[in-house]
Amino acid sequence: MARGNNLKRLLNLRLLLASWPWLLVITAFALLRLSKGALLLDLYAQVSRPFWPGSAQREWLQKAQRLEDQQRLALLEAQLSNQQLDLSLRQQQGPWVTAAVISRNMQGWWQDLLLGAGALQGIRPGAAVTAPGGLLGRISSVTPSTARVLLLTDPSSRVAVELQGNRGKGLLVGDGTSRPRLEFLEKDVEVLPGDVVITSAASTVVPANLIVGVVQQVNLDALPAPEALLQLTAPAGAVDWVRVR
Amino acid sequence: MALFASGLVLLCLLLASPGWLQLAGMSPAWAVLWLLPWSVVEGPLAGALAGIAVGLLFDALQGSNLTSVPMLALLGFWWGQFLAARRPLERSTTLGLLALIGTLMLNGSYALQLHLRGEVNAAAWHITFAQTLLTALVAPLFCSLQVLFWRRISSRYER
């Protein structure tokens, strides 16, 4: 009886209508959540514009890009004999977009960056994000003037990679620390600390042959296949400008 | 108006947390620090609803799909029960203890969600302890000031 009364009091229509300010607030926040904060992030990007990193690193980035291109060219020439048809690289056309990092979340339950360029500059979800040194991560969501990068170290990040020289393919799995885990697909892998890891030519989500990192520690006893810890070459904690395509 | 202003401050803290207030790279749990004084002053229902609102805001501003809504609503409801307590909350270490337990539970809910999704965060204990310690350390300062502020505004305490 008392329970019934309580229920009736809880579901009282008048009481429900009387709490309309709360309903309004909750609805507004629910809409905000559904849009993943698009309006707020755009607002933040505009407000924080005077505090964006300066352009010195941007020029440094472009210089580093030329250097990296030369290295990549040398790499490709060396591999020309067993070069395979690289569809994903051909599909990934269009200019690189340079964007400033305006919010950084490197530690904690999730790892992401917020960039000061978005859909208006031509950034699409899923695009690869690189810094001098190599791949940083992928774009997870965009708003008109911001884009969010899911870093390789985030627990939900999965990227197909391979050892340089087509020696072993694997999956790069983030685990919240600064060194993601490389899980190889085959049992027999010749891998040593110091080996360079690049994005896989088989991957359809990231361009092939981007440098990802260097193998730092190898665990050949892991089951079902060997594992390795990777030191990423792109410094996500220090970079102020990144390039997106 | 004051609610709007404090919400704006919370928003700024969530997006650009100050670098000097960090322990092992972790910022304090700003959502907890805002929700605690509000629900202690306004009661369980308002606390739970504010918990849902802050949780939705927090989820909107981060890229992952982990949610903090249920745990913040629960915490708001629980902290609202302290409305009836006849102790001077703002003077004691109780606020620090409540913030400590709240942050621990919030981080625990993230860990549970990651576990259910089959993902691993190797730094989970590190993150949890750093954030819990830091939040509990700053809570007595921030929360007691906010409790006094909300009480001055709230109609419940007018005399």
> What gap in Å lies between CA A234 and CA A41, rounded to an integer?
25
Total of domains in chain B:
1
How far A83 CA sits from the closest chain B CA (Å)? 35
**Which residues does chain A have within 8 Å of residue B49's beta carbon, measured at their own beta carbons?**
22, 25-26
Residue among B58, B2, B40, B1 at smallest CA distance from A36:
B58
Per the CB < 8 A criterion, the answer to whether A146 and A118 are in contact is yes
Specify whether A33 is located in the same domain as A64: no
As a whole number, mean pLDDT of residues A209-214 equals 86
Beta-carbon count within 10 A of A160 CB: 18
Write the CA distances from B105 to A20, A241, B102, B132, integer angstroms: 30, 36, 5, 10
> Residue B64: which domain range?
2-157
Contact A141 B63 (CB under 8 A): yes
Contact A155 B25 (CB under 8 A): no
CB nearest A107 (choices: B26, B62, B63): B26
Total of domains in chain A:
2
Query: Mind listing the pLDDT tens digit for each residue in B5-23?
Result: 777 777 777 777 776 777 7
**Which residues does chain A have within 8 Å of residue B3's beta carbon, measured at their own beta carbons?**
none
> Residue A232: which domain range?
55-245
Query: Mind listing the pLDDT tens digit for each residue in B76-91?
Result: 888 888 877 666 666 6
pLDDT confidence of residue B159: 46
pLDDT confidence of residue A85: 47
Query: Mind listing the pLDDT tens digit for each residue in A17-33?
Result: 777 888 888 888 888 88
Per the CB < 8 A criterion, the answer to whether A185 and A103 are in contact is no
Specify whether A39 is located in the same domain as A68: no
State the greatest distance between any 2 C-alpha atoms of chain B, in Å, as a whole number: 54
Please report where in the chains the tokens 């060997």 appear, as a residue: A226
Specify whether A197 is located in the same domain as A89: yes
Per the document, the length of chain B is 159
As a whole number, mean pLDDT of residues A123-141 equals 87
**Which residues does chain A have within 8 Å of residue B62's beta carbon, measured at their own beta carbons?**
105, 110, 112
The partner residues of A138 in beta bridges, in order of sequence, read A128, A150
> What gap in Å lies between CA A66 and CA B129, rounded to an integer?
44
Indicate if the pLDDT at residue A54 is higher than 60. Answer: yes
Complex ipTM: 0.71
Contact A108 B49 (CB under 8 A): no
**Which residues does chain B have within 8 Å of residue A106's beta carbon, measured at their own beta carbons?**
25
User: Vertex A76, ends A87 and A226: CA angle to 5°?
Assistant: 80
CB nearest B66 (choices: A32, A105, A109): A109
Find the helix or strand (DSSP H, E) in which A100 lies: strand A97-105
CATH number, domain of A190, equals 2.40.10.340
CATH number, domain of B70, equals 1.10.1760
> Which residue of B64, B66, B68, B104 to mutate against A (max A Cβ within 10 Å)?
B64
Q: How far is CA B132 from the centre of its chain?
A: 11
> What gap in Å lies between CA A123 and CA A129, rounded to an integer?
10
Query: Mind listing the pLDDT tens digit for each residue in B11-59?
Result: 777 777 776 777 766 778 888 888 888 888 888 888 888 888 888 888 8
Contact B15 A103 (CB under 8 A): yes
Beta-carbon count within 10 A of B117 CB: 12
As a whole number, mean pLDDT of residues A131-145 equals 87
Per the CB < 8 A criterion, the answer to whether B99 and B147 are in contact is no
What pTM did the predictor assign? 0.71
> What gap in Å lies between CA B86 and CA A90, rounded to an integer?
71
Residues of chain B whose C-beta is under 8 A from some C-beta in A? 11, 15-16, 24-26, 46, 49, 52-53, 56-57, 59-66, 107, 110, 114, 117, 119-124, 127, 131
Contact A156 B119 (CB under 8 A): yes
Specify whether A45 is located in the same domain as A60: no
Write the CA distances from A29 to A76, B34, B68, integer angstroms: 51, 16, 13
pLDDT confidence of residue A82: 47
Helix ranges (H only) for chain A are 2-10, 13-18, 20-34, 38-47, 56-78, 87-91
The partner residues of A158 in beta bridges, in order of sequence, read A173
Specify whether A102 is located in the same domain as A81: yes
**Which residues does chain A have within 8 Å of residue B24's beta carbon, measured at their own beta carbons?**
107
Q: Is B125 left (phi over 0), alpha (psi -120 to 50) or beta?
A: alpha
- Residue B66 vs residue B157, higher pLDDT: B66
Helix, coil or strand: residue A236 = coil
Query: Mind listing the pLDDT tens digit for each residue in A70-103?
Result: 777 777 766 754 444 454 454 455 677 888 888 8
The dihedral of CA B111, B116, B117, B122: what is its sign?
positive
Specify whether A22 is located in the same domain as A125: no
Specify whether A15 is located in the same domain as A60: no
Closest residue of chain A to B108, computed from CA coordinates: A109
Contact B24 A107 (CB under 8 A): yes
